[in-house]
Amino acid sequence: MALGGSESSWFALGGDLPVRRLGFGAMQLTGDGVWGPPRDSDQATRVLRVAVDLGANFIDTADAYGPHLNEALIAEALYPYRGDLVVATKGGLVRSGPNSWTCRGEPAYLRTCVEASLQRLRTDCIDLYQLHRADPAVPLLDQIGALSDLQAQGKIRHIGLSNVSVQQYREVVQHFTIASVQGRFHLLDHRANVDVVRECERDGIAFIACEPLFRGHLSRTNRHLGRLTEKAGGASPAQLALAWVLHYSRSIVAIPGTSSTERLAENIDALSAELPPEVKHELIAAAGGW
């Protein structure tokens, strides 16, 4: 089955925003520990522009990346936005330093986050706004309710969840319309989210697979993938890993990130990769099964 050029290459996010199922995660366009600016701002700008030129029309970011700098970089590189470009961001995490992440989900704070993201992204309406992580100190429905109020005001087009359990997902969808769920999903770390993916399939919403290359580890060091490249017609380990994620479920939209234009082109080519049956079976075995 070839993904490229077919209907399965696309997903209608929220039912009305067609996105290619291989987008771009912008988190890596920051400093170490997802803190501070990128080492080379000009290169980061080039990567974003090349991603769009190569056909990626879904860009994922968050106010916590930098913090704040990642959203501003996207606006600097891509504004005014192309008509079919979908930019998603997230809020609800506070940063105090590199690799430090603290939940904060009071409704008033989330409203402030959305207003600030609107300014940094230079837009009047955010295509997809995701609760980055549920704050256990605040009722989950209150957190989503704040976003729903902003959606009613026209400041958010669609609401998404991130890093939630099946139980949290079910609680939310009983009361609100959700367009997507984001979570880690790759060959070596997917079992925790398998049930969430199935819920998304059932409800016809997107599962946004972040870190589908395990922060580059799958493209560099996995012996199973390296051994399968010849059987897969020369596809790179990264392309095999991404093809596996995309073949896992038609509801998945993968958002690999990179700071290299060469890696970017390689990743996006995975959308048209074919998986011969024998390669698919070996990938399943390497991952411990579906």
Task: Give the CA distances from residue 208 to residues 115, 146, 157, 223, in Å, rounded to whole numbers and listed in that order.
Answer: 24, 22, 17, 26
d(CA 105, CA 35) in angstroms, rounded, equals 21
d(CA 197, CA 79) in angstroms, rounded, equals 32
Angle between helical axes of 107-121 and 69-78 (0-180°, round to 10): 30
Please count the helices (runs of H) and the strands (runs of E) in the chain: 11, 12
Q: Are 19 and 51 in contact (CB under 8 A)?
A: no
**DSSP state letter for 274:** B
Which one of 65, 129, 169, 248 is the catalytic residue?
65
Q: Which helix (H) or strand (E) holds 148?
A: helix 140-152
Q: Catalytic annotation on 248?
A: no
Please identify every residue annotated as catalytic: 65
